[in-house]
Amino acid sequence: MFVSEWSEKLTSHAKQQFMKSPFWIEAAKRGLCWEAAVMDKPSIQEAVDRMDEASTAVLRVFHICFGAGPVSEERLFLSRAGLSGAEFRYGLIQLQNAGIVFALRQGWGERLYAMPSDCFLLWHPVLFPMNKLSAADSGYGIWEHRQEDMSNKPLGRQLLTAWAELARSGLGLTSKGILPKKTTAKLMQAITLTDADMKQAGWQPETLDSYSPAVSFVLKLSMHLGVIALDGNRMKWNEKTLGEWLAEPELRQEALLLQWCLEELLEKRPAMWHIMALLARLDPGTWYSETVMAEEVRHHGLEGREWDQSLDNCLNLLRVFGWMELARVADGRMMRWAMKPLLLQDQQRQEARQEPVMIEPNGDLLVLPGCPNRIRWELELIADRKSDDQISVWQLTRSSIGRALAHGRTIPSVLSFLHAASGGLPISPLLESSLMDWGKQDPLDTKQSSDIYPMLTLDHESVTVEFQLRSSGQTLVGCELMNHEDFRIERFLPELDRVPLSWLQQLRSYHHSTRLEIMEKALSWQAPVHLSMDDAIVAFVPARLERLDGGWAVTGLLREALTHKEVCLTPEMWQGMKLIAPGVSGFV
């Protein structure tokens, strides 16, 4: 679920309470609301800088092990690594109080935890700083072969051509309630995605799906975006949503689609979320070695077959959706972002150039990257696409104009569109004369109004609303969002007020019986203690007590700077000790 969707579920009071968290002090001073703060890179950095060690550690564990969740409390707790239970719970509560992690209650009382999924890629670089990888020499790579060695088109571009094909062919359904085979065959020709690609990208169509995997994927995504909807025995266009989607700059479209992929395709695969976020740090256009990247993945403590496989899966998914290029070299693979669809910043959006269409006298229409998608949409109707690469080329022909006429366009409307799309440049008189001639043909197959190819205005001011991507909304199904008031420290440090203050405040030498009492309290809280041993102070997380003949011993985790080791201690083995109540008497 995305921030905007969580926001709808939260009360204003709760959101205001979040901003009172010490993590958001600077953001609150700047007047940011909760929705803005959790997505604002400087505020995120400030929040992480202000976090106590427990909260940071919990958030890191969450990111690595569970992506954006949801995850059960039990599983989350088991993944806490070296943290004591109390530290872990303390950190989790701090994160909940700041609106960074949410607790959900399931019907039978089990608790789940989740984060807004669109926060993941923004928080990840702050939580897991990574050294800048050195670029690989592009060398003499062998391309990852497919489809005449062309790289895949970006997913957003593929959707546009797929929709254009559906709009040209019509959205009528057969008696079985599905698109005719002829239409789906044309749709497959309009995209570069194949069924094999979808398998590689991890797409599982529903068992009873009548379409091939690639068609099924396109239709599901189209419906999810709200561009196409089922309406009785046919599908229909939602022209408003289509217009809003196509008004988005290409990079934002791809960013939203990547977000959707993380949600939909990688839902149960947190390793891929994590790797995707690491890959997102690479500069676009630069080749990197997969081996070097795998090293980096390992450096972050991720090892083993699952991670290698996940890296491979991530790279395949990014290649399939046209975001990354892959090449094989003698000692492995190389990768580079062909376009980086990652969370655009406002600055980048302002820089995006709106390139006009160049109209050649022979009817060739050259379209540079950055050309508004609503122009590409209309070109798909009035002209024939000849190539779609860095530059896309359409050609006006007699038959393409015939098609446009059948869909209700007129020569004056086509000329007016071309004039606007080219930024007002004059059209060659010869081409204009050809268009006039082609306009005299009889439209063979005039479409009924329900089958007319949607006409979108090029007027930038007509679309004022930014396209809002919605998640599948599965996170909250069967769950109840827990109330902010539930997150109190007393919940995990019972009887805190009965504990002598000296236990919490001073590192002192106690009688063996008091040492035992303190250890028992630490065990009941699952809290750590500080021990002074041989002139050094170490942190110890007790796990169990054993009574011995005439004495006792405690087994637990001794936490040193770089290593954690399980040890068994008897009371005479340390001199001083102090009970640590996370959030009350500091952290270890």
Position 567 contacts another protein (CB under 8 A)? no
Residue from 108, 429, 536, 562 in contact with another protein (CB under 8 A): 429
Residue 136: both structure tokens together: 């690989």
* C-beta neighbour count of 466 within 10 angstroms: 10
Least distance to another protein, CB of residue 363, Å: 8
User: Cα separation of 558 and 542, whole Å?
Assistant: 9
Position 346 contacts another protein (CB under 8 A)? no
Residues in region 87-106 near another protein by CB under 8 A: none
Least distance to another protein, CB of residue 429, Å: 5
* C-beta neighbour count of 535 within 10 angstroms: 6
The stretch near another protein (CB under 8 A) out of 194-202, 224-232, 261-269, 335-343 is 335-343
Position 444 contacts another protein (CB under 8 A)? no
User: Cα separation of 253 and 443, whole Å?
Assistant: 35
Position 327 contacts another protein (CB under 8 A)? yes
Of 16 and 138, the one with the shorter C-beta distance to another protein is 138
Least distance to another protein, CB of residue 466, Å: 24
**Backbone φ, ψ for residue 482 (5° rounding):** -80, 150
User: Can you give the C-alpha Rg of the chain in angstroms?
Assistant: 30
Residues in region 394-413 near another protein by CB under 8 A: 398
Local structure of 429: helix, strand or coil? helix
Residue from 8, 109, 149, 207 in contact with another protein (CB under 8 A): 149
Position 389 contacts another protein (CB under 8 A)? yes
Nearest Cα residue to 396 out of 364, 422, 424, 371: 364
Burial class (CB in 10 A: 0-12, 13-18, 19+), 522: buried
Position 364 contacts another protein (CB under 8 A)? yes
Helix axes 181-190, 155-169, angle to 10 degrees: 150
Position 350 contacts another protein (CB under 8 A)? no
- Only one residue has tokens 């008091």, namely 514
Residue from 12, 309, 354, 362 in contact with another protein (CB under 8 A): 362
Position 473 contacts another protein (CB under 8 A)? no
Position 500 contacts another protein (CB under 8 A)? no
Residues with Cβ within 8 Å of residue 45, at least 6 apart in sequence: 126
Residue from 22, 177, 304, 361 in contact with another protein (CB under 8 A): 361
Residue 474: both structure tokens together: 């599965």
Of 390 and 563, the one with the shorter C-beta distance to another protein is 390
Tell me if 109 sits within 8 A of 72, measured CB to CB.
Answer: no
Residue from 126, 135, 280, 358 in contact with another protein (CB under 8 A): 358
Of 360 and 480, the one with the shorter C-beta distance to another protein is 360
Residue from 433, 450, 483, 506 in contact with another protein (CB under 8 A): 433
User: Cα separation of 31 and 40, whole Å?
Assistant: 12
First to last CA, the chain: 34
User: Cα separation of 79 and 410, whole Å?
Assistant: 65
Position 440 contacts another protein (CB under 8 A)? yes
Position 503 contacts another protein (CB under 8 A)? no
Residue type at 48 in one-letter notation: V
- Site size for another protein, by CB under 8 A? 40
CB burial string 85-117: b at 16+ within 10 A, e below:
bbbbbbbbbbbbbbbbbbbbeeeeeebbbbbbb
From residue 119 to residue 148, the character string flagging contacts with another protein as x (rule: CB under 8 A) and all else as - is: -------------------x-xxxx----x
Least distance to another protein, CB of residue 368, Å: 8
Position 345 contacts another protein (CB under 8 A)? no
Least distance to another protein, CB of residue 84, Å: 48
Residue from 5, 118, 325, 451 in contact with another protein (CB under 8 A): 325
Residue from 173, 292, 368, 452 in contact with another protein (CB under 8 A): 368
User: Cα separation of 138 and 326, whole Å?
Assistant: 11
Of 250 and 263, the one with the shorter C-beta distance to another protein is 250
Least distance to another protein, CB of residue 193, Å: 16
Residues in region 273-302 near another protein by CB under 8 A: 284-285, 287
Position 250 contacts another protein (CB under 8 A)? no
Q: What is the largest CA-CA distance in the chain?
A: 109
User: Cα separation of 577 and 465, whole Å?
Assistant: 61
Position 549 contacts another protein (CB under 8 A)? no
Residue 341: both structure tokens together: 């669809």
- Only one residue has tokens 């009382």, namely 109
Q: Which DSSP string do the residues of 370-400 spell out, in sequence order? A: T--HHHHHHHHHHSEEEEESSSEEEE--HHH
Of 333 and 374, the one with the shorter C-beta distance to another protein is 333
Enumerate binding residues for another protein (CB under 8 A). 138, 140-143, 148-151, 284-285, 287, 325, 327, 336, 338-339, 353, 358-364, 366, 368-369, 387, 389-391, 398, 428-430, 433-434, 437, 440
